[in-house]
């Protein structure tokens, strides 16, 4: 078994300390903590679920693409140039 890097050990120790503290919180706060951690996990590791508005926008974009209604290279370049920092 490989030896964990120092930052992995510190993270693991920090999490252990945090979980010990969380276990002393009121039940409502613990439930909020669990929901928050689940949201973070979903954000970083889960499958993103489109909203109905996002799904509709994707469908519109795909339909426009199939119809050949695409921006020209010069139009795309103009947008990038306009917003480039």
Rounded mean pLDDT, 50-54: 94
What are the pLDDT digits (tens) for 58-74? 999 999 999 999 999 99
Question: Would you give the distance in Å from CA 44 to the centre of its chain?
Answer: 5
In whole numbers, what is the pLDDT of the chain averaged over residues?
A: 89
Token representation of residue 62: 């795909």
Q: Where do the domains of the chain lie? A: 6-45, 52-83
pTM for this structure? 0.47
Say yes or no to pLDDT of 4 above 80.
Answer: no
Residue 50's alpha-carbon distances to 55, 60, 62, 63, in angstroms, are 6, 14, 15, 18
């Amino acid at each position: 078994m490989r030896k964990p890097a120092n930052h992995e050990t510190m993270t693991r120790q920090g999490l252990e300390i945090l979980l010990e503290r969380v276990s002393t919180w009121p039940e409502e706060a613990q439930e909020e903590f669990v929901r928050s951690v689940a949201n973070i996990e979903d954000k970083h590791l889960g499958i993103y679920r489109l909203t109905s508005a996002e799904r509709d926008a994707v469908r519109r974009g795909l339909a426009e693409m199939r119809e050949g209604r695409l921006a020209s290279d010069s139009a795309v370049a103009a947008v990038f140039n306009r917003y480039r920092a």
